[in-house]
Amino acid sequence: MLQIHENVSLQNFNTFGIDASARYFVEINHEDDLVELFLDPQWKTIERLVIGGGSNLLLTQNFNGLVIRMNIRGIEHRINHTDVFIEAGGGEVWNDLVNYAVKWEFAGLENMSLIPGSVGASPIQNIGAYGVELKDVFDSCRAFEITTGEFKTFDKAACQFGYRDSIFKQHKGEFIIVSVKFHLSLVANINTRYGAIEQELNNRGIVNPTIKDISQVVSHIRVSKLPDPSTIGNAGSFFKNPVIPVTEFEPVKAQYPDVVNYPAGEGLVKLAAGWMIEQCGWKGKVVGNTGTWKNQALVLVNHGGATGEEVYGLSSQIIDSVYTKFGVMLEREVNII
């Protein structure tokens, strides 16, 4: 029997540590729970928010609807020659899945070690880090469609993955991801292209890194760069790195020759949002109870007692100043609720 709780604090359910509450709250442990929940028509019409680890959310007010917390567990794998297929419940912790793969020496997830959050949220913004994106290892996912009450399978093409984007982000709230299947390999394709990985491997004297080495090195770099949400509230990168046409990039480059940029496909350039924010003087700045992280200006933090509105206000100021200086509009990566 499903338990619907009322007036639940969400402070421990979002990594920003924002003190907001949910009018109704339910935890989903099995696929059948979703079927049972939506047999009651009141939950189909009320405002809903699906959450996993709450590591990509900014709660700007109390949520006057139903929060659905995904907690479906389980990890299974199947090996076919050198191909490995791992299927994990949407409520599994992402890094537990990475550790499972590393332990079995299944290659593909190691560069995405230590990303916070759940497996079910990983396709939503096509998570990525250190040169690898979810889409590179994604096979398919199973999702509950709220309007029809049916479970559907999405293959990679159906997910329409882009940079921090997918069909689930475009059609927010229509589907609840209950499990994700990944296509890994017994043959390691070690990816050390991201500068800091090479450097840290050199520091450790590792010449032929294993999957485990990469996972450990990536975890080490992340811990040294990013604030730990258990001690200082944050949601990782607050903004996306803007991707702009070369024609718009040229005048920026002419004025700021050292602008940090990467090729992003035919006629497109990706700019480093963190660098631009830093150039505007925001790095490490404290504004009331909030601010930007001292080692990475792209990360907004809660220094204690910040409201979601305060953090949102700071993000608006940052967007304005980057636009004024560079003529480039930043887009928030974090989901604003």
164 is catalytic: yes
Of residues 98, 101, 127, 218, which one binds ligand FAD by CB under 6 A? Answer: 127
User: 318, 303 in Cβ contact below 8 A?
Assistant: no
In Å, the largest CA–CA distance within the chain is 64
What DSSP string runs through 25-50? EEEE-SHHHHHHHHHSTHHHHS-EEE
Of residues 108, 117, 242, 274, which one binds ligand FAD by CB under 6 A? Answer: 117
Least CB distance to ligand FAD at residue 40 (A): 20
Query: Which is the catalytic residue, given 237, 310, 315, 332?
Result: 237
Distance CA 159, CA 139 (A): 10
69 is catalytic: no
Tokens 């907690």 belong to which residue?
71
333 is catalytic: yes
Half-sphere exposure of 299 (CA within 13 A, CB side): 22
Least CB distance to ligand FAD at residue 105 (A): 23
Of residues 10, 15, 215, 276, which one binds ligand FAD by CB under 6 A? Answer: 15
Distance CA 155, CA 181 (A): 10
Residue 55 within binding range of ligand FAD, rule CB under 6 A: yes
Using CB under 6 A as the binding rule, the residues of this chain from 69 to 108 that contact ligand FAD are: 70, 90
Residue 18 within binding range of ligand FAD, rule CB under 6 A: no
Binding window for ligand FAD (CB under 6 A); candidates: 121-129, 151-159, 192-200, 308-316: 121-129
Binding window for ligand FAD (CB under 6 A); candidates: 50-58, 150-158, 204-212, 246-254: 50-58
Distance CA 314, CA 300 (A): 8
Total residues at the site for ligand FAD (CB under 6 A)?
A: 33
Q: Is the CA virtual torsion 90, 95, 100, 102 positive or negative?
A: positive
Residue 67 within binding range of ligand FAD, rule CB under 6 A: no
CA 141 to chain centre: 17
What DSSP string runs through 174-200? SEEEEEEEEEEESS------SHHHHHH
Least CB distance to ligand FAD at residue 174 (A): 9
Site residues (CB under 6 A) for ligand FAD? 15, 49-57, 70, 90, 115-118, 120-122, 124-125, 127-129, 168, 176-177, 226, 229, 234-236, 335
The catalytic residue positions are 164, 237, 333
